Structure 1
């Protein structure tokens, strides 16, 4: 039986992606027993939708990487079941032309149809499956103290790029996250933009982003591969990246496609530790 969704679209109607977010929401609404949530009323009178949120799953439709709808859901303490990003999905579906202000109607319709198919697809449920449990829950660290701050790096097994993202390999799969140095530099993390399950990523390519009250950090993938799982717990608890950057705060799991070549361009824990110390000194914390 298909789930019943409370559909929360973007409110940025002044931009093509924002407009398409509303169009997509109405199109998906017509496919089942779903409920449309007005983002303005959700912000000003959230109790109006209490029954919708309690009785079904929440589908968020962001227009772009500003992620207004996702942020609104987070502010209201709502659990996101599925998420669409009009801009990112259009690019992934080779339909980016639909984002233009003068986009042909047929192109826009093709994008909306593809988004409907994505929501209803059984493959999309892979995002919710249990991640690989072969990764360690406890890690031994080497630490460096500067003033009142303590910066940690795992003693072994982890590899890093110079963009402060780590990878932990188990067989032909790997888990990816960010270093303790980065989470402390960002301070309180408010939102994590996760990649899509099934997405193909390149080494040093974009893997998502992390937003705090101070800045937005773009995740640079340390390896190439295919995303097989994402840490959906971060939707409700992004602070896990602050509290457990090397374990519970992981971002994504990937099936590796070229580990031997990728690893030649990565740093082991000891080498990264030395680079991290230099970065800390430069920040003068």
Structure 2
């Protein structure tokens, strides 16, 4: 059975991307047991739509980078399970959207493809990753030894042993042929209060320096850059309900995903040990206002 959502689409019906967002939502409602939340009525029928939003995994569909649907979810204090942006989905498929509010064949096909992809991904998670999502096989350290760098009121920690890093402020901890991945203190301090986490799909392959989910705050959206390549075997399910765990400690309860390594000998040549990354972190902190 297809996974169902509570769908909160963009309300920008005076824009083409907003119309496509609504069409994606309609596809999901028609082809699964999903429920749609009207973003306009939500402001006057709070109790009804909050119940829907809390009863199923919440999917937020933004039309463009204005992210009006995401902002509404944040205002209502909702926990977002999955997010997408229509303009980004079109760009990823090499499609150029028109300005017309009447959806043509191209726009209707995009809506159908996106909805179908969402439902297939959820089915894949259930079939391939249900056990992996709830259990972690990675042997993880019981204690952590951090080096600390301070700048004004901000504190930046970096684990001194067992972790490797890329220059994109992601870390990896290796245990046999498995790896646990997350972001560093520099990321969570730069973003400030993290509101949303969009996880990668369990079962998918990721290349070194490929995207491994997104973290979003009121300041910015941060794309997690994977330090290694391999097959995603688990994601930190707690982050969907409590993305603030990344703020609290991105190395421990705030980890992002686990991967079965596919090219470790090659990948490690492009990673930094503690000394190399700590030097880069200090330079970034000193040069940029966090």
* TM-score calculated relative to the size of structure 1: 0.80
Which sits farther off after the overlay, 216-225 or 98-107? 98-107
**Tell me, what secondary structure is at the counterpart of 1:20?**
helix
Which sits farther off after the overlay, 212-221 or 177-186? 212-221
Identify the match of residue 97 of structure 1 among 95, 98, 105. Answer: 95
> Are residues 1:132 and 2:133 paired?
no
**Tell me, what secondary structure is at the counterpart of 1:39?**
coil
Partner of 2:269: 264
CA 1:80–1:274 in structure 2 vs 1: closer, same or farther (change >3 Å)? closer
Identify the match of residue 147 of structure 2 among 133, 142, 153. Answer: 142
What is the CA–CA distance in structure 2 between the aligned matches of 1:79 and 1:147, rounded to whole Å? 32
Deviation at 1:16, TM superposition (A): 3.8
> Are residues 1:154 and 2:159 paired?
yes
**8 A contact 1:224–1:257 mirrored in 2:** yes
**8 A contact 1:127–1:229 mirrored in 2:** yes
What is the CA–CA distance in structure 2 between the aligned matches of 1:173 and 1:222, rounded to whole Å? 13
> Are residues 1:276 and 2:274 paired?
no
Deviation at 1:91, TM superposition (A): 6.1
Deviation at 1:153, TM superposition (A): 0.9
Count of aligned pairs: 283
Partner of 1:195: 200
* TM-score calculated relative to the size of structure 2: 0.79
CA 1:154–1:38 in structure 2 vs 1: closer, same or farther (change >3 Å)? same
What is the CA–CA distance in structure 2 between the aligned matches of 1:139 and 1:276, rounded to whole Å? 19
**8 A contact 1:207–1:221 mirrored in 2:** yes
Matches within 5 A, 1:1-285: 5-64=5-64, 67-89=67-89, 95-97=93-95, 99=97, 105=105, 108-109=108-109, 111-113=111-113, 115-116=115-116, 118-119=118-119, 122-125=123-126, 129-134=133-138, 135-136=140-141, 138-283=143-288
**8 A contact 1:153–1:273 mirrored in 2:** yes
CA 1:151–1:107 in structure 2 vs 1: closer, same or farther (change >3 Å)? closer
**Tell me, what secondary structure is at the counterpart of 2:224?**
strand
Gaps spanning 5+ residues in structure 1: where? none
What's the CA shift string for 1:109-168, capped at 9, x where partnerless?
365156236415521435762252423464221223444443211121111112221112
Taking only aligned residues, the RMSD between alpha carbons, in angstroms, comes to: 3.3
What's the CA shift string for 1:25-82, capped at 9, x where partnerless?
1122123444321012224432132443455443333445655434433432334455
CA 1:272–1:197 in structure 2 vs 1: closer, same or farther (change >3 Å)? same
CA 1:240–1:145 in structure 2 vs 1: closer, same or farther (change >3 Å)? same
Deviation at 1:272, TM superposition (A): 1.3
What is the CA–CA distance in structure 2 between the aligned matches of 1:65 and 1:255, rounded to whole Å? 33
Gaps spanning 5+ residues in structure 2: where? none
**8 A contact 1:137–1:247 mirrored in 2:** no
What is the CA–CA distance in structure 2 between the aligned matches of 1:34 and 1:284, rounded to whole Å? 43
CA 1:111–1:190 in structure 2 vs 1: closer, same or farther (change >3 Å)? closer
**8 A contact 1:136–1:247 mirrored in 2:** no
**8 A contact 1:98–1:111 mirrored in 2:** no
**8 A contact 1:71–1:191 mirrored in 2:** no
**Tell me, what secondary structure is at the counterpart of 2:59?**
strand
